Amino acid sequence: MDIALDFTDEYIFDDLYARFFPLVQANSLSGTNGTQILHVSYLSRDNIYRQFISLFIITMFFAYFFYFFFSTLSYIFVFDKELMKHPKFLKNQIAKEIKLSAFGFPITSIVTVPWFLGEVRGYSALYDDINQYGLLYAVFSIFGFLFFTDMCIYWIHRWLHHPLIYKHLHKAHHRWIIPTPFSSHAFHPLDGYLQSVPYHIFVYLFPLH
């Protein structure tokens, strides 16, 4: 996420924060172009509040983009439209799936951002130099990541089916008897978040390239 943050800071956020949270306006000569106004924000790139806001915007953007982009492609090219004639297919189901998904993304994003913020600020075990732990560990960590996350998600999913939890968090997920590609994120936002937690926990417990 630090790469995405650096990129958006460079090309988008530096200008936006300088415009809405300005610190100073300094004049500088730029050759034959004359005098230019340089805008500077009092929220520097390493400001924790700026990082939180920026990461939230990035997370939200990609959540909506990937959801609508891939769901639409899957609906057009993969999904069997004949399934929509099934008696279990709900009236206006696709609209309901999209509505629930779109409603949940901001909630899921805001509770996910603290994990990304910790990574950006160096609290995770993510590392850049593959030589730090060697190639063998890098390969092994891939399988470790898959095993850890799948195992944890299995038990979280089992817990979500507990009678005291199911009707409050997980029932919405099983509403779609005949799911479409747009149901991929049509669940309670905390349901989706809980099942994503193992991915975030892993990089705080084990080094990952």
Same domain, 8 and 100: no
Same domain, 36 and 84: no
Same domain, 14 and 109: no
**Which run of H or of E encompasses 163?**
helix 163-165
Same domain, 53 and 27: no
On whether the CB atoms of residues 1 and 7 are closer than 8 A, the answer is no
CA-nearest of 137, 140, 121 to 129 is 137
- Dihedral angle sign, alpha carbons of residues 141, 109, 163, 97: negative
Range with the poorest average pLDDT among 41-45, 69-73, 199-203: 41-45
Q: CA torsion, points 186, 187, 190, 192, in degrees to nearest 10? A: -70
Give the DSSP letter of residue 1. Answer: -
Same domain, 77 and 151: yes
Confidence category of residue 40, pLDDT binned at 50, 70, 90: confident
Please state, for a pLDDT cut of 70, what percent of the chain lies above it.
92
Same domain, 113 and 161: yes
Mean pLDDT for the chain overall: 93
Please count the other Cβ atoms lying within 10 Å of the Cβ belonging to residue 127.
14
Residues contacting 125, CB < 8 A, separation 6+: 203, 204, 205, 206, 207, 208
**pLDDT above 50: residue 207:** yes
Same domain, 32 and 79: no
Q: Encode pLDDT of 92-119 as tens digits.
A: 999 999 999 999 999 999 999 999 999 9
Sort 180 into a burial class: Cβ within 10 Å, 0-12 / 13-18 / 19+. buried
- The arithmetic mean of pLDDT across residues 144-159, rounded, is 97
Same domain, 12 and 101: no
Which residues on adjacent β-strands are paired with residue 24? 40
**pLDDT above 80: residue 25:** no
On whether the CB atoms of residues 160 and 169 are closer than 8 A, the answer is yes
Distance between CA atoms of residues 101 and 189, nearest Å: 8
Number of separate domains in the chain: 2
Same domain, 32 and 69: no
Pairing of strands 35-41, 22-29: antiparallel
pLDDT of residue 24: 67
Confidence category of residue 29, pLDDT binned at 50, 70, 90: very low
Same domain, 191 and 158: yes
Same domain, 31 and 109: no
Domain that holds residue 14: 1-45
Same domain, 167 and 117: yes
